Chain A
């Protein structure tokens, strides 16, 4: 009886020590779920979700404090992916969140720009080139279309230009045809 108890408690101690050690040794840095959610988010860093960037929003979703339908640039496809990942129901865009817009990039009217650098400080991805009292310009290939530079401009010289569809960016459409009734 006593031997059995001793053996069992020895095993329990040994396993507990092993588990405790591996918990410290193999500790995962950060929350892996946050990274998975962050990978789905479109990285516009636009703050339309109410959080200062995609990563903070991902962290908020992971901790359960934010809904999955707060990201307009990700579109419904993004919500669907988040729902799949988290095992929750799909949720359409709510009233408080604007729906997705066509992809645009910012454009600076160079005749009006006074070179104040306010937009440069607002750009989350460093997509504006310029310096104080020098002309600013958008690096269109880096611009995520977050619109964060539009509000700070004191002379309203920044506008969002929707990206036109060209033969280079065009996509084949889903085939639409009529099915014949089966007789």
Chain B
């Protein structure tokens, strides 16, 4: 047995796991429409490579990763792309974003599924495959996997941690996945181990999931992967908290687990990696727990893009008295009333709310500075101080209190006797600070460009003045009689100009005006006289031109 450690704080909310963990995973049928947001990951939105009217196959690329931090999006089934347009997406803003809408044709025709021999592939190539396979952290954070597992040569990983803690109440999708598909998870873990080559590999599972622990222990036998049962305490499933519990190491403030030689990934991500590498299937579906106020709470393997109300219907439908949904867990999830929202890569759970299960919070009372939030904070922060500074919009001060180490787990909300929505204040302060940083970066860029432009204008002015001065000097020199005749500077140019002039002359000579035939002798005599005058004038002009031209050549 491994010696386990503790993180600071933590809470014990009611678990509500048994409602949905009893039934096996069911496959959700094809919905009528699939809506795939092009941003289902942290970072920049993927760029659509299909357009309305295209026919796509199951697993075909819909949008490719664009920019450093991005991941691809694929068609979950074969069918017709109806549109690539703004649509409702699961986002706290409620604002629309670009989505590809697919009408399934019901044939489920796959693209050619090529498995990868990951041992033979260079690691960089394997990472590119992860990006193009749309692999992101499926625990909820949706951090692109190809970035997480991209190690610099100097970085060594001692411990690879697989997160099977699933600490949020109600959610059981990882639990069912580990119970039913432990062998596949282990195959995915082997691929991740190949990528980062850790000295030890640990799977952390909360001890309220004994069957999952048993299944994983059996699958991990003789692989060198250790399965650790850890005490049930919210938020053990937080990356930093899980690492602390399993290894005793603390991720430094503002740092990443990588800095202490640890990488942490969700078990569902490992399973997705297995599907991609060993089966050739990109991320097109995920396990979703449908629970709360429904008749038969259960886990479904749902295609991405399935409307959440379709899934609640599959779970026997919402019971009377239901209102709204929570996407994710009750502690950190997204509250919405829109049942048409699609399942995305981060949707691990759909909870149908009812006033009995989730009574509305009593009105908030003033903060009495009891510091219960500080006792509960798993990041060891001082939420009562952060709250104070967030209220005052004192963003410099709030950073000094390590606001950005807050994981927004909501433990402080849970324990607050005044029912103050503390985590909401922290989210507000974080996004304000990020916006300010963005603004000041934009200002710095504008300043730089402005100053460069001023410099360029000044330089141009100076160059012009210098040129003018030089020209004047040259003109002065040319006017002096002692100046020797200057030889043509560039003989080839001169020669070419001369040739062009002659060509033009010859052409002019070849053309005879149309009214030249049938002339009277008198007219012919007149013409001859004019021609002679012209020739004389030309001779005269040439005689004057020669010195004139030599001046111009300077």
Spell out A's residues near B (CB within 8 Å). 38, 41-45, 53-54, 124-127, 142, 144, 165-168, 170-175, 177-180, 182
B446 pairs with A165, CB closer than 8 A: no
B97's partner among A54, A144, A166, A173 (CB-CB below 8 A) is A166
Closest to B391 in A: A174
Q: Which B residues from 354 to 387 make CB contacts under 8 A with A?
A: 362-366
A125 pairs with B435, CB closer than 8 A: no
A182 to B95, CA, bound (A): 37
B93's partner among A53, A170, A174 (CB-CB below 8 A) is A170
Also in contact, A43 and B430, with CB within 8 A (given A125-B453, A177-B364, A182-B366): no
CB-CB under 8 A from A165, the residues of chain B are: 93, 95
B366 pairs with A127, CB closer than 8 A: no
Q: List 17 A-B contacts (CB under 8 A).
A: A45-B450, A126-B453, A127-B449, A142-B449, A167-B39, A167-B91, A172-B92, A172-B424, A173-B428, A175-B424, A175-B428, A178-B363, A178-B364, A179-B363, A179-B364, A179-B366, A180-B363
Closest to A38 in B: B447
B66: Cβ under 8 A from any A Cβ: no
**Looking at B39, B444, B450, which has the most chain A CB atoms within 10 Å of its CB?**
B450
B428 pairs with A174, CB closer than 8 A: yes
A126's partner among B91, B363, B421, B449 (CB-CB below 8 A) is B449
Min C-beta distance of A104 to chain B, whole Å: 14
A172 to B89, CA, bound (A): 16
A124's partner among B430, B432, B450 (CB-CB below 8 A) is B450
CB-CB under 8 A from B430, the residues of chain A are: 172
Min C-beta distance of A163 to chain B, whole Å: 12
Closest to B45 in A: A168
Also in contact, A171 and B447, with CB within 8 A (given A179-B366, A180-B362, A180-B365): no
Min C-beta distance of A172 to chain B, whole Å: 4
Also in contact, A125 and B449, with CB within 8 A (given A43-B443, A170-B95): yes
A43 to B95, CA, bound (A): 30
Min C-beta distance of B180 to chain A, whole Å: 34
CB-CB under 8 A from A42, the residues of chain B are: 439, 443, 446
Spell out B's residues near A (CB within 8 Å). 39, 45, 89, 91-93, 95, 97, 362-366, 421, 424-425, 427-428, 430-432, 435, 439, 442-447, 449-450, 452-453
Closest to B362 in A: A180
A172 pairs with B428, CB closer than 8 A: yes
Q: 8 smallest A-B Cβ distances: which pairs?
A: A180-B363, A170-B93, A43-B446, A43-B443, A125-B449, A175-B424, A171-B431, A172-B427
Also in contact, A177 and B428, with CB within 8 A (given A42-B439, A166-B97): no
A179 pairs with B365, CB closer than 8 A: yes
CB-CB under 8 A from A44, the residues of chain B are: 446
A177 to B453, CA, bound (A): 49
A125 to B445, CA, bound (A): 9
Also in contact, A182 and B365, with CB within 8 A (given A172-B428, A175-B421): yes
**Looking at B364, B366, B443, which has the most chain A CB atoms within 10 Å of its CB?**
B443
Min C-beta distance of A83 to chain B, whole Å: 15
CB-CB under 8 A from A179, the residues of chain B are: 363-366
Also in contact, A43 and B447, with CB within 8 A (given A124-B453, A166-B97): yes
Closest to B44 in A: A168
CB-CB under 8 A from B444, the residues of chain A are: 43
A124 to B452, CA, bound (A): 10
CB-CB under 8 A from A43, the residues of chain B are: 442-444, 446-447, 450
A54 to B366, CA, bound (A): 43
Closest to A170 in B: B93
Q: A43-B443, A179-B363 are in contact. List 5 more A-B contacts (CB 8 A).
A: A43-B450, A142-B446, A167-B89, A170-B93, A172-B432
A126 to B450, CA, bound (A): 8
B425's partner among A38, A175, A182 (CB-CB below 8 A) is A175
B450 pairs with A125, CB closer than 8 A: yes
A174 to B449, CA, bound (A): 34
B95's partner among A142, A167, A175, A180 (CB-CB below 8 A) is A167
Min C-beta distance of B344 to chain A, whole Å: 12
CB-CB under 8 A from B447, the residues of chain A are: 38, 43, 54
A179 to B418, CA, bound (A): 10
A42 to B421, CA, bound (A): 33
Min C-beta distance of A59 to chain B, whole Å: 14
B446 pairs with A172, CB closer than 8 A: no
